[in-house]
Amino acid sequence: MCGIAGYINTKEQINELLFSEMVSTLAHRGPDDFGNYFSNNKHIALGHRRLSFLDLTAAGKQPLSNQNKTIWITFNGEVYNYLELKKELETTYTFSTETDTEVLIAAYQTWGIDFVNKLKGMFAFGLYDEALNKLFLVRDRFGIKPLYYTQQNNTFIFASELKAIMASGVIPKKVDFSSFADYFVYRYIPSPKTIWQNVLKLPPAFYLELNTLTLEFTTKEYWNLLANNNHQNKEQLANEINQILNQSVAEHTRADVPIGSFLSGGYDSSALVYYMKNIGQQPQTFSIGFSKWEKSEDQYAKIVAKHLSVENESIIADEESLRLVDLMANVYDEPIADISIVPTFMVSELAAKKVKAVLSGEGADELFAGYTWQHEFIKNNKSKNWFSALFSPKQDTVSFYAKAMAMGWFDATELKQLLHPSIHQYIPADVHWFYRKHFNKNLSPLKSIQYLDMKCFMGELVLTKVDRASMANSLEVRVPFLDHTLFEKVFTVNENDYYNSNQTKYLLYQNIKKNLPSEILARKKQGFVGPDSYYMNIDFYKKELANSALVKHNIINQKYIDDLLKETYNWKLWKILVMEKWFKRWID
């Protein structure tokens, strides 16, 4: 995994020292090597920090070019079907490295930008075609890898993280207060917005095409998850899923270095370790638990590790660990209030001491309908009899989903109480605009929730958390469940063929039920969380929010904080704390 950056200035030559400093802010994403490319007129620069997995020699150094140096690429990610693509391209392109990066250049040279539709993997890259005076920015289908950009007058800048863009010095530190309000509703800043004015995220499954002479650009969505309602024999479907998963894990463990795995003792991570063993891997596994908690995941991870005969290391979080929240503003660049940002950072730090990459189970709940709110939604939609169907209004999907996602409810009324009156003008008329944007009324009830989870919860919150927490520790996280062919397969099937109200993640369960311990199979669904007491120490919040910078700058109201501190349990405090830490780091 790597860090990438690019800078175009149509009027002046780029300061090479400044650009190198921008790229250096991404050193944690790629500590193994670095490189910069400057065009002959010094108006275009591409930068790269390398975390090497394939072709560990200097031949794999980036930015990388084709033979006649007219096409350049800076690439972050992994293309898991690169060997298959390479074989297809060898008749028209002479390869000089063993990297997947060079396969992208050959694919573009052969098929044009539409080659992105052939890729399986996680990626964000900038590709410069000198002959056409075009720059392409591309982000993977699910948003596993990040990509930010900005256009300011005669400049265009992109990077893996906001800190590299801000290091350019050309971006005023002006908060986008509409994004500020969005954060309290969603727990994150939804794409394409960021916390900064005039700086954007490239959404998942999009590419951007830029004219490097005029800086005019367009964006295009290159992949949509299509759905159907075909019936399929359940046993046959489970076998097909098993084959795809087996292949996906095999592809995700292609590397010239060992690959480990996170292990929580739940279905998803346990299944991945089983599949790794099934293809002859012997992974090291890494877990996190919480002190003084009977549901601590490390105990279940040890059961799975023993059953599958793999090595397991764990770390235990306690009350003192929560103080790592002070680091999170620098790790994440913009506020993100997932409650597992600290534990994810801790287990990544643990794993990075032993391996350069791990597998992780993100995407399985979206794919196999494992979330509790998905089950609740389906249960509510299934009327008990014709009478209730006639007289009970059908629940509004977006309203239901907004409540399920809230973790501290903020609507327009609540935002007005929180925010200083001068900020009220930035509160959107529809605070749930992002959910509404991704609600597809043409999908079946379950698939509509799964799609919202894929686009809104996983794509914006979960994958951002995992990428930043892991890359802050120079650790790559690979996610085999996020194989787009898996999602395409499940979404073509009638939901009754893969959903079972009595068995969570039915399709996955069918493939692991004979291979994991009974106490693991019988576990109830548990998210990657700790005990409530870990997050709800009111004295901790009183101390951390005393002399609030947000209050001092007339952004939020002191009375609102004071009222929350009189309660014993309210997730709104966590959202405020995360924003407070971000504001102090980047503004105050």
Picking from 29-38, 178-187, 202-211, which range would have the lowest pLDDT averaged per residue? Answer: 29-38
Tokens of 325: 């929240």
3-class DSSP state of 71: strand
Residue 510, pLDDT > 90, answer yes
H helices of 354-459, in order, are 364-368, 372-381, 386-391, 397-405, 412-418, 433-438, 445-452
Threshold 0.85, pTM exceeds: yes
> Rounded to an integer, what distance in angstroms lies between the CA atom of residue 560 and that of residue 577?
13
Q: Which amino acid is at 330?
A: N
Say which residue, 293 or 547, is predicted with more confidence: 547
- Rounded alpha-carbon distances, angstroms, from residue 428 to 202, 416, 425: 21, 11, 8
The lowest-confidence range among 221-235, 251-265, 370-384, 454-468 is 370-384
Beta strand 71-79 pairing with 121-129: antiparallel
- Residue indicated by tokens 């794999």: 60
CATH number of 3-221: 3.60.20.10
Ranges 4-18, 152-166, 473-487, 516-530: which has the least confidence: 516-530
- Specify the range with the lowest mean pLDDT, choosing from 174-178, 231-235, 528-532, 542-546: 528-532
Task: Decide: 138 and 455 in contact? Cβ < 8 Å.
Answer: no
Pairing label, strands 476-478, 44-50: unpaired
Q: Which long-range contacts (CB under 8 A, 24 or more apart) does 113-118 make?
A: 113/138, 113/207, 113/209, 114/222, 116/207, 116/222, 117/222, 117/223, 118/81, 118/85
pLDDT at 503 over 80: yes
For domain 234-370+453-532, give the fold. Answer: Rossmann fold (3.40.50)
**At 464, is the pLDDT very low, low, confident or very high (cuts 50, 70, 90)?**
very high
Q: Which amino acid is at 512?
A: I
What are the extents of the domains in the chain? 3-221, 234-370+453-532
Residue 122, amino acid: M
Please report, as a single letter, which amino acid is at residue 476.
E
- State what percent of residues in the chain have pLDDT above 90: 85
Q: Report residue 231 CA to chain centroid gap.
A: 32
**Spatial separation of the C-alpha atoms in residues 352 and 347, rounded to whole Å:** 9
Give the model confidence (pLDDT) of 257-286 as tens digits.
Answer: 889 999 999 999 999 999 999 999 999 999
The residue type of 301 is A
pLDDT of residue 34: 86
